[in-house]
Each structure stands twice: as C-alpha cells, then as structure tokens.
C-alpha cells in the first residue's frame, strides 16, 4: 500500500489527509528568479555582514535595489534638475523616452536578480529615466571643461562629487550598461560624435591609469567596466582549482633570496616570477580601496568564477602579507602605497578581503608553487637562516662582519704563534 493511501485511510489518527497537507504551489514568476540575462546581483548576506557600508550607497540610489530608501531621498531633487538640463540638450520629449524604456522594460527587469514587482510599469520607467538622465548629465558636466562647474549643484561640491562616484561603482547600484548606451544613442541619433563609452571612460578615468580601451559590447555595467580596467591584460594565466598557500610571506621570501620588483604601468593581473625575481603591480591602499575591491570581487563571484583575476590577486596578496612587517617591506619596494597611515591597517584590510569568498579558481597557483620550491631548496634555506639570524639589519650585519674578521684574525694569529714555536 502506498504511503499516501495509508495516511488517507487514517484521517482521524493523523488529523489530516496526505493530499490536503502536502500541496506545493509553484509561483507564476518562478522562472524569473534567476534569468539568464541577470548581471546585477544583490550582495549575499555573508559578505554584507563583513562590511555593510562597502556595498551600500551613501548619497544616491541608482536602479531598483536601493530605490526609495529614505536616507537617499535628498538626492532625488537633483535627479529632476538634471532631467530638465538633459532634456534641454535634446529635441525629444519626455514621453518619447518613456515609450523607449517601456518597450524594453521586461528586458531591463530580467537583468536584475529580483523582478521588483512592487514597482509598476510607470514607476519603473520613471525610475530608469531619472537615474539614466542624472548619469548622462553628470558625465557630460565632468567631460566638458567649459561646463561651468561653479553653477552645477553637484560638481561644485568636491565631497559630493567624490561620494557619488563611489556610489556609481557599487554592484547593487547599477543600470545595465547596454541599455544606458542605447538610451544615450537614442537621445542623439544624428550626432555620431555623441558616444557613451568615451563619457563613461572619462568619468571613471581615475580607475584606468593605463588608459585601457575595453570592448564596449561586453560591458555589463560600471562595476564591470572598472573590473576590466583593473584586470585587462594580453596574457591570461590558466586558473587552477587547487589552491595551495605560500609557505612564507613577503619579508621571509626576501630573506630566502627572492627579489621583489614593481611592474611599471601594469594592471593587477600582471604578476610574474622568473629567475628569482617576483614582479608585482602596485597596490594602492587608501580610504576607498576596500569598497572597490569588495564590489569587484562580489561581481566575480557571480559572473566570472573562472576568470576571477581580481580575487586571485587579492588572494596572492593575502598570502604575501601576514603582518605589518610584510607591508612595510612591500612599501619600501614601491609595491604597496600606504594611504591609510598604518602598515597594520593595510595588513588587516587585505587579510579580511577574502573572508567568505569562495575561491574556485586561482590564477597564480603556478607562481606560488615556484616560490615554494625556491624556498625549499637547501641553498636558499641556508640563505634564509643566514639573512634572518645574522643580517636582520645594518647593525646585525656590521656586527656579523666584524665578528667574522675578528675570528679570522684570531685564527691567523694562533697559526702564526704555533709556527713560531715549531720553527723558532
């Protein structure tokens, strides 16, 4: 007898019928929970709990995830002001732009990890247009040297301008790049010089010191653009699912005979170890470093698990830095720029960045293997002991040299005395 039939025959004993109790209702929109087009994800709780402020906009909301939050309401009036300024640049009416967005509403919704059904079609289109026009006018004002920033309510305030730029690179605070670019082209269809990528590239140029030009078609959003600036390189290292730690950090690697050099004009994927020289790009530690890396690494967790170049770089730095002494050593070599004031603060930041990050692929495992082999050779073990015990610093080194000379002179003097007695 089937189990369900048995329970249905004994309704008084069990208090319910099997068929009545076990009812699974499938939601009508279940297929939209994780659409294939999704590229804008909400931060997992295990990451947000580590540093909520690093993932949360402080000044302005962009897109539906943080839309309507009271603490961000002050910037809404600036969105309407920028909307008026942008419409004055075009020959189109607001209704025309609204129709453009409504035709693409479902496509835009599916690029988020949640459908946000609390926003109806009208409210959703209004939100997209206000946010998009704010971004357009902000970028145009930043790009135009003669824009007259003194009369701009945002650009004239350095603290607000900087804060908004930080908010615009947060993973949860994004509009899809392709829809932004298409809307901008729709606004200026007869002007081939009106391209969105140069505007966006200029606005985020401080994240692109090497002036890297990305393939616009593949950009998901601004967080993805910044990741491209940070990791774009000609030669990709093959990932490894086997993640093995370095046996010793940077300072002790140096004592074992490994030389450290900074890669000039390199991005964060440009790491190499050859002939005893470890070449690393420069890591700039300042107040917003953690914010940038946390959002880019969260993006890699969801979109680039096999191409997690930034996560791999931070994991390598985590291996290299165990204490403030390692940071101080790397600062001396020009590999780390310390804008936090304390070497311990830099060490703590780097050591915390990989917490709750799932490392499925590591792009620098071959370098770690070579470094471990280098340190395991007998000659370099002797060098490490010698450097660690006898040449810790200039005073230990000088004392060691004079001590060696003294022992040598004593030995020679003893030999001469013995010879004098024998042949005297």
Per residue in 4-46, pLDDT (tens digit) is 455 455 555 555 555 555 556 656 655 555 568 899 999 999 9
Q: Around 395, how many Cα atoms within 13 Å sit in the side-chain half-sphere?
A: 0
- Listing DSSP states for 238-289 in one string gives PPBS-----SS-HHHHHHTT-EEEEPTT--TT--EEETTEEEE--EEE-TTH
| Percent residues over pLDDT 70 in the chain | 79
According to the per-residue pLDDT averaged within each range, which of 171-180, 206-215, 372-381 is highest?
171-180
Q: Give residue limits of the domains in the chain.
A: 1-32, 37-231, 250-371, 380-423
Residue 234 has pLDDT above 50, yes or no: no
- What pLDDT, on a 0 to 100 scale, did the predictor assign at position 358? 83
- What pLDDT, on a 0 to 100 scale, did the predictor assign at position 7? 46
Instruction: Residue 355: count other Cβ atoms within 10 Å of its Cβ.
Output: 12
**Which of 46-50, 141-145, 238-242, 381-385 shows the lowest mean pLDDT across its residues?**
381-385
Residues 389-424: tens digit of each pLDDT: 444 554 555 555 566 576 666 777 777 777 777 765
Write phi, then psi, for 55 (nearest 5 degrees): -110, -5
- What pLDDT, on a 0 to 100 scale, did the predictor assign at position 9? 54
Q: Which residue has the higher pLDDT, 168 or 30?
A: 168
- What pLDDT, on a 0 to 100 scale, did the predictor assign at position 267? 81
Instruction: Residue 385: count other Cβ atoms within 10 Å of its Cβ.
Output: 12
- Listing DSSP states for 186-233 in one string gives HHSTT-TT--HHHHHHHHTGGG-TT-----GGG--SHHHHHHHHHH--
Residue 365 has pLDDT above 70, yes or no: yes
Q: What is the DSSP letter of 362?
A: B
Q: Are 171 and 232 in contact (CB under 8 A)?
A: no
Structure confidence at residue 371 as a pLDDT band (50, 70, 90): very high
Residues forming beta bridges with residue 338, ordered by sequence position: 285
Q: Is the pTM of this model over 0.75?
A: yes
Closest CA to 346 of 362, 325, 315: 325
The two beta strands, 283-285 and 336-338, are parallel
- What pLDDT, on a 0 to 100 scale, did the predictor assign at position 181? 96
The Cα 300–Cα 269 span in angstroms is 14
The Cα 249–Cα 100 span in angstroms is 55
Residues 78-96: tens digit of each pLDDT: 999 999 999 999 989 999 9
Q: Are 175 and 132 in contact (CB under 8 A)?
A: yes
The Cα 228–Cα 293 span in angstroms is 13
- What pLDDT, on a 0 to 100 scale, did the predictor assign at position 323? 94
- What pLDDT, on a 0 to 100 scale, did the predictor assign at position 67? 96
The two beta strands, 277-280 and 272-274, are antiparallel
According to the per-residue pLDDT averaged within each range, which of 128-137, 355-364, 380-389 is highest?
128-137
Residues 51-71: tens digit of each pLDDT: 999 999 999 999 999 999 999
The Cα 62–Cα 73 span in angstroms is 12
- What pLDDT, on a 0 to 100 scale, did the predictor assign at position 25? 62
Q: Are 285 and 337 in contact (CB under 8 A)?
A: yes
The Cα 318–Cα 307 span in angstroms is 19
According to the per-residue pLDDT averaged within each range, which of 22-31, 239-248, 351-360 is highest?
351-360
The Cα 332–Cα 66 span in angstroms is 42
Residues 255-276: tens digit of each pLDDT: 888 999 999 877 888 899 998 9
- What pLDDT, on a 0 to 100 scale, did the predictor assign at position 407? 65
Q: Which residue has the higher pLDDT, 127 or 29?
A: 127
| Mean pLDDT score, 322-347 | 95
Torsion over CA: 384, 385, 388, 390 (sign): negative
Structure confidence at residue 288 as a pLDDT band (50, 70, 90): very high
Integer-rounded Cα Rg, in Å, for the chain is: 30
Find all residues with CB under 8 Å of 315, minimum gap 6, and list them. Answer: 243, 354, 359, 362, 364
């Amino acid at each position: 007898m089937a189990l369900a039939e048995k329970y249905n025959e004994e309704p008084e004993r069990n208090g319910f019928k099997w068929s009545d109790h076990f009812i699974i209702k499938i939601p009508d929109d279940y297929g939209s929970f994780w659409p294939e087009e999704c590229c804008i994800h909400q931060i997992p709780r295990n990451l947000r709990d580590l540093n909520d402020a690093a993932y949360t906009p402080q000044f302005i909301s962009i897109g539906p995830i943080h839309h309507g939050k009271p603490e961000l309401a002050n910037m809404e009036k600036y969105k309407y002001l920028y909307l008026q300024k942008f419409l004055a640049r075009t020959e189109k009416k607001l209704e025309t732009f609204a129709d453009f967005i409504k035709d693409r509403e479902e496509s835009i919704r599916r690029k988020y990890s949640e459908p946000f059904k609390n926003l109806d079609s009208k409210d959703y289109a209004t939100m997209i247009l206000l946010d998009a026009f704010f971004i357009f006018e902000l970028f145009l004002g930043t790009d135009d040297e003669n824009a007259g920033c003194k009369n701009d309510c945002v650009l004239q305030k350095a603290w607000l301008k900087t804060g908004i730029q930080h908010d615009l690179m947060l993973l949860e605070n994004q509009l899809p790049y392709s829809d932004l670019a298409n809307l901008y082209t729709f606004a200026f269809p007869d002007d081939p010089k009106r391209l969105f990528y140069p505007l966006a590239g200029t606005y985020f140029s401080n994240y692109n010191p090497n002036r890297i030009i990305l393939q616009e078609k593949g950009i998901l959003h601004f967080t993805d653009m910044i990741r491209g600036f940070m990791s774009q390189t000609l030669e990709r290292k093959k990932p490894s699912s086997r993640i093995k730690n370095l046996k010793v950090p940077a300072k002790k690697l140096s004592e074992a005979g490994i030389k450290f050099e900074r890669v000039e004009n390199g991005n964060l994927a440009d790491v190499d170890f050859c002939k005893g020289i470890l070449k690393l790009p420069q890591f700039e530690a300042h107040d917003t470093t953690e914010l940038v890396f946390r959002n880019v690494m969260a993006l890699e967790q969801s979109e680039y698990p096999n191409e997690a170049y930034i996560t791999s770089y931070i994991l390598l730095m985590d291996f290299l830095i165990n204490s403030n002494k390692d940071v101080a050593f790397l600062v001396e070599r020009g590999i780390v720029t310390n804008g936090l004031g304390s070497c311990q603060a830099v060490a703590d930041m780097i050591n915390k960045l990989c917490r709750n990050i799932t490392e499925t692929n590591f792009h620098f495992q071959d370098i770690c293997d070579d470094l471990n082999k280098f340190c395991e050779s007998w000659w370099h073990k002797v060098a490490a002991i010698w450097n660690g015990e006898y040449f810790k610093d200039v005073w230990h080194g000088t004392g060691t040299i004079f001590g060696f000379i003294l022992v040598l002179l004593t030995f020679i003097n003893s030999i001469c005395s013995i010879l004098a007695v024998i042949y005297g």
